[in-house]
Amino acid sequence: MNRVRILIAIPAGLLLAGCSLTPKYTRPEAPTPPAWNAEEQVQTQSGAPAAADVRWQDFVTDVKLRGVIQLALNNNRDLRVAALNVERVQALYRIQKAQQYPTIGASAGGDFYRVSPSLASNGQPYTYGQYTLSLGAASWEPDFFGRIRNLKSEALEQFLATQQARSAAQISLVAEVAATYLSMGADRDSLRLAEATLAAQKNTYELIRQTRDLGMASDVELTQARSQVQAAQVDIARYTGQLKLDENALNLLAGTPVPADLLPEGLGSDAALKEISEGLPSAVLLRRPDILMAEHQLKAANANIGVARASYFPQISLTAGGGLLSGSLSDLFKLGSRSWNFVPQLTVPIFDYGTRKASVRVSQVDRDTAIAEYEKSIQSAFREVSDSLSQRTWLLEQQTAQQSLVKTLEETYRLSDARYRAGMDSYLNVLVAQRSLYGGQQVLVSLRGARLINLVSLYKVLGGGA
């Protein structure tokens, strides 16, 4: 009868061992529309590649900016911490993976103690000695129900999630360095414009002062000219201070002082960055490192359910060893000193069913939470791309319109100045035209910088930069 039970129990155990206790993983459906909003899209250059297919070295065509980004990748402390986290989690995964295999160890030792006369059979004290040399496995758990395999899978997914976190940190760093660099370039262009305006205003002020001294201009006109000089001086001080702040921010991101020859002289050409295609959400968002990280965390939570379910079943551990045992060191290596031991242990849950059931429920709730986090990551990414596409459209339209406006203001200022010099108009008209032109030029610089920074942001949110 016992043999029959054993014969029945063995196939049943093997059948249970062959069944996975982990739910089959299925990627959740993306909770976003299948395409970007039509009004938020803008026509890109024909054949423009997807952002995820463009390395940052190819996206950034400005040589100086590439140098600053490389400096940051080599020295930024946040990125260094992210890389160290990858190494740490990788080591933890290797530790967990090693649990699948027996731990083999060797040991040698001696045991000596004195037997008192009262305990000796002949009433004479003696010293007992024992020498051992053994090789064995300590508490190895055969993984019949997949507990250790699922722990290994969970550790692997956490490692892969950390890798994606490191990629996301690199993308963010590249984008932040580029945005700070472009902001500094825009501020330098604004400073240069303010300096040129100051020089022109000083010349105008001197001309009006001379004509006033000759009785051909009024004190009102001289005061108006002086106010323009002072306004330009205020802007120069403001942009000079802002440039220092930009440099400090760039040094912090780079993790080291940026050499002067790598600092921007201005915004430069609009071709400093490569055009990219926005693609479709399903093809773009699922390639973003932060979403891949959320998916790996979801897979880890799914594997943890298998770990919790395995706690319902018996846990088997084996301890075995073999070696040499002798009462004297000289006899230790003789044929008759061989010894072995085998200690199987079976642990069966009986009265803690409620605790184990609650553990399974906790793991299922963790999995459902990870699904919600994954879906939220996709929704947030969709919004980021939609916002960047929307800004890309109106920034391009604004820049085009502002360029036309600046040309008109330049012509207005030229005509007003000519009429004033010919004595046909008062200096007030020239003053208004100057202020309008200067303001229009400053807005154009800001729009050019904002459009380039928006392209950097779009490249980041589309998953480029790794």
Question: What secondary structure letter does DSSP report for 20?
Answer: -
Cβ atoms 285, 32 nearer than 8 A: yes
- Segment 396-425 shows an average pLDDT of 89
132 — phi, psi (to 5°)? Answer: -135, 145
pLDDT in tens, 243-271: 999 999 999 999 999 999 999 998 887 77
pLDDT in tens, 200-235: 888 877 877 887 777 766 788 788 788 888 888 999
- Segment 30-48 shows an average pLDDT of 63
H or E stretch at 369: helix 353-421
pLDDT exceeds cutoff 70 at 13: no
Residue type, 328: S
Task: Residue 44: name the closest of 273, 269, 266 by CA.
Answer: 273
pLDDT exceeds cutoff 80 at 409: yes
* CA distance linking residue 294 with residue 414, whole number of Å: 59
Q: Quick one: pLDDT at residue 1?
A: 43
Task: Residue 46: name the closest of 278, 277, 284 by CA.
Answer: 277
Q: Which domains does the chain have, with CATH numbers?
A: 15-99+144-312+353-461 (1.20.1600.10), 103-140+315-348 (2.20.200.10)
pLDDT exceeds cutoff 90 at 191: yes
- Segment 41-54 shows an average pLDDT of 65
Under the banding of pLDDT at 50, 70 and 90, the label for residue 190 is very high
Q: Quick one: pLDDT at residue 336?
A: 66
Q: For residue 178, give the 3-state DSSP assignment.
A: helix
Cβ atoms 455, 399 nearer than 8 A: no
- Segment 433-458 shows an average pLDDT of 91
Q: Quick one: pLDDT at residue 465?
A: 63
Share of the chain above pLDDT 90, in %: 34
pLDDT in tens, 58-85: 899 899 999 999 999 999 999 899 888 8
- Segment 351-356 shows an average pLDDT of 79
* Distances from the Cα of 99 to the Cα of 29, 92, 213, 432, angstroms: 35, 11, 96, 80
Burial letters 163-188, b for 16+ CB under 10 A, else e: bbbbbbbbbbbbbbbbbbbbbbbbbb
Cβ atoms 465, 59 nearer than 8 A: yes
Q: Quick one: pLDDT at residue 42?
A: 47
- Segment 378-404 shows an average pLDDT of 90
pLDDT exceeds cutoff 50 at 45: no
Under the banding of pLDDT at 50, 70 and 90, the label for residue 32 is confident
Between 427 and 163, where is the model more confident? Answer: 163
* Distances from the Cα of 434 to the Cα of 190, 237, 454, angstroms: 16, 20, 30
* CA distance linking residue 257 with residue 75, whole number of Å: 10
* Distances from the Cα of 2 to the Cα of 6, 13, 343, angstroms: 6, 16, 22
Q: Quick one: pLDDT at residue 9?
A: 43
Task: Residue 167: name the closest of 60, 289, 76 by CA.
Answer: 289
Cβ atoms 51, 462 nearer than 8 A: yes
pLDDT in tens, 118-160: 766 777 776 766 767 776 656 677 777 888 888 888 899 999 9
Q: Kindly report the pTM of this predicted structure.
A: 0.80
- Across all residues in the chain, what is the average pLDDT? 82
Collect all residues with Cβ–Cβ distance below 8 Å to 250 and sequence separation of at least 6: 68, 177, 180, 181, 184, 258, 263
Share of the chain above pLDDT 70, in %: 87
Q: Quick one: pLDDT at residue 330?
A: 66
Q: Quick one: pLDDT at residue 256?
A: 93
Task: Residue 438: name the closest of 200, 182, 186, 183 by CA.
Answer: 200
Cβ atoms 151, 96 nearer than 8 A: yes
pLDDT in tens, 90-111: 888 888 777 777 777 777 777 7
Under the banding of pLDDT at 50, 70 and 90, the label for residue 393 is confident
pLDDT exceeds cutoff 50 at 7: no
